[in-house]
C-alpha cells in the first residue's frame, strides 16, 4: 500500500548564497522520492496556508504579525538565524500548513510524511535556531481544538533538544513530549520535556538504537496516543555539520524503521516531519532524509 507525502513548491524560498541553511533540499527530496519510485505523483498532497488563528493557538499575535510583516526588532529577527524575506515568511506559514495536513492524513490513513517541518526551537514569542513558527505544536493544538484527538505523543529524535515544543506543552497533559538528543549541543539552555534522554557526544548506531528500542514501546503503552508526531531529524548522522553523534546511513535507516514499525504495529497513526540535517554534501543530505520515506514504504504504511 502507498503512503502520502506533503509538499509545496513554496517549501523552497531563496536565501543569500552560502547561507548555512540547506534550503534546496526540500525540492530535491521530493524529486528523489519520485525518481526512486518511493512515492507516485498521486501520493503527493499540497497544503494550504494556515489561518492566523491557527498559528495564534501557539504564538502570540505581536510575534506573528511582526514576523509576517518583517517588522520584528533586529535582536528578535537575528536570533532566528534566517534573513527575513516575504518568500521566507510565506514558506514558514506553508510549512506549518503542511504539518497540519500531514497530521490529518495520518489520522485517515495511518501514516503520512511532510517533506518539511520540525521547527522545534520556536517559542510562543520568539524563534531561534532556524525555527520561526513551531509547526508540530501548532498542528497539535489545531487537532486538539477540532476534537480530532485527545492525546498526542511527540517523538523528537532530531539531534537537538525540542526545547520550544517542551516549553509550549509543559503544563498541557494532552501532549506528551519526548526528546532524545545530544547532551552537548544547541540549545545551550535545555527545557524540560515530559521525557528527555540526553546522549553523550559520539554515540554510535548500536548504542543509540538500543536506548530507543528500550524506551519507545513503553512510551506508547504508557501514553496511548491518538497520534504520534515523529521529528526525524537526520542531524544525528556522523557527517552532519551541527550534530555531534555518529549514526551511519544504515543506523538512521534502522531508526526510521524502528519508529514507524513500532508505532504502526501497535495501531498508532504516525505523522512525520523532516527535522534538521546540515551535511555540506547535498546529495548525501537528501539521501539521508529519504531514508524515512524508504522505511515508510518498507513497513507498508
Ligand atoms: Zn536539529
User: Do 245 and 277 form a contact (C-beta atoms < 8 A)?
Assistant: no
> Residues 90, 43, 284, CA angle at the centre, nearest 5°?
70
pLDDT band at 2 (very low <50, low <70, confident <90, very high): low
Assign domain 4-8+21-298 to a CATH class. Answer: alpha beta
Does residue 1 have a pLDDT over 90? no
**pLDDT mean over 16-35:** 93
Tell me the CA–centroid distance for residue 52 and ligand 1, in Å.
26
Residue 152 phi/psi, 5° resolution?
Answer: -130, 140
Tell me the CA–centroid distance for residue 179 and ligand 1, in Å.
11
Following CA atoms 72, 75, 79, 85 in sequence, which dihedral angle do they give, to the nearest 10 degrees? 40
**pLDDT mean over 185-208:** 97
In this prediction, residue 20 carries a pLDDT of 86
pLDDT band at 267 (very low <50, low <70, confident <90, very high): very high
The domains of the chain are located at 4-8+21-298
Tell me the CA–centroid distance for residue 288 and ligand 1, in Å.
14
User: What is the torsional sign of CA 95, 110, 287, 232?
Assistant: positive
In this prediction, residue 18 carries a pLDDT of 81
Tell me the CA–centroid distance for residue 277 and ligand 1, in Å.
7
User: Do 2 and 39 form a contact (C-beta atoms < 8 A)?
Assistant: yes
**132, 209, 249, 263 from 96: Cα distances, Å:** 10, 30, 28, 23
Identify any residues that bridge with 180 across adjacent strands, giving them in sequence order: 197
Tell me the CA–centroid distance for residue 275 and ligand 1, in Å.
6
Average pLDDT of the chain, as a whole number: 96
- CA–CA separation, 45 and 184 (whole Å): 37
- CA–CA separation, 198 and 71 (whole Å): 36
pLDDT band at 16 (very low <50, low <70, confident <90, very high): confident
pLDDT band at 17 (very low <50, low <70, confident <90, very high): confident
- CA–CA separation, 41 and 33 (whole Å): 10
Does residue 184 have a pLDDT over 80? yes
Does residue 301 have a pLDDT over 70? no
Tell me the CA–centroid distance for residue 181 and ligand 1, in Å.
9
pLDDT, tens only, 56-108: 999 999 999 999 999 999 999 999 999 999 999 999 999 999 999 999 999 99
Amino acid at each position: 500500500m502507498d503512503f502520502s507525502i506533503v509538499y509545496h513548491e513554496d517549501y523552497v524560498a531563496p536565501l543569500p548564497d552560502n547561507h548555512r541553511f540547506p534550503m534546496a533540499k526540500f525540492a530535491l527530496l521530493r524529486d528523489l522520492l519520485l525518481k526512486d519510485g518511493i512515492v507516485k505523483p498521486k501520493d503527493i498532497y499540497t497544503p494550504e496556508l494556515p489561518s492566523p488563528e491557527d498559528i495564534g493557538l501557539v504564538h502570540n499575535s505581536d510575534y506573528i504579525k511582526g514576523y509576517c510583516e518583517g517588522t520584528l526588532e533586529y535582536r528578535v529577527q537575528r536570533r532566528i538565524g534566517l534573513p527575513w524575506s516575504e518568500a521566507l515568511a510565506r514558506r514558514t506559514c506553508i510549512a506549518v500548513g503542511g504539518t497540519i495536513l500531514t497530521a490529518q492524513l495520518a489520522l485517515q490513513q495511518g501514516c503520512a510524511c511532510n517533506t518539511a517541518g520540525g521547527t522545534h526551537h520556536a517559542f510562543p514569542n520568539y524563534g531561534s535556531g532556524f525555527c520561526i513558527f513551531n509547526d508540530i505544536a501548532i498542528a497539535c493544538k489545531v487537532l486538539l481544538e477540532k476534537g480530532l484527538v485527545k492525546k498526542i505523543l511527540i517523538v523528537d529524535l532530531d539531534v537537538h533538544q525540542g526545547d520550544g515544543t517542551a516549553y509550549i506543552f509543559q503544563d498541557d497533559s494532552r501532549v506528551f513530549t519526548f526528546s532524545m538528543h545530544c547532551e552537548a549541543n544547541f540549545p545551550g539552555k535545555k527545557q524540560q520535556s515530559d521525557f528527555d534522554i540526553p546522549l553523550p557526544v559520539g554515540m554510535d548506531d548500536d548504542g543509540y538504537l538500543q536506548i530507543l528500542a528500550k524506551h519507545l514501546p513503553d512510551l506508547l503503552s504508557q501514553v496511548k496516543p491518538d497520534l504520534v508526531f515523529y521529528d526525524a531529524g537526520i542531524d544525528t548522522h556522523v557527517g552532519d555539520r551541527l550534530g555531534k553523534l555518529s549514526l551511519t546511513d544504515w543506523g538512521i535507516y534502522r531508526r526510521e524503521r524502528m519508529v514507524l514499525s513500532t508505532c504502526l504495529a501497535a495501531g498508532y497513526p504516525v505523522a512525520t516531519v523532516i527535522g534538521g540535517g546540515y551535511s555540506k554534501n547535498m546529495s548525501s543530505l537528501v539521501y539521508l532524509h529519504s531514508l524515512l520515506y524508504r522505511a515508510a514504504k518498507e513497513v507498508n504504511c
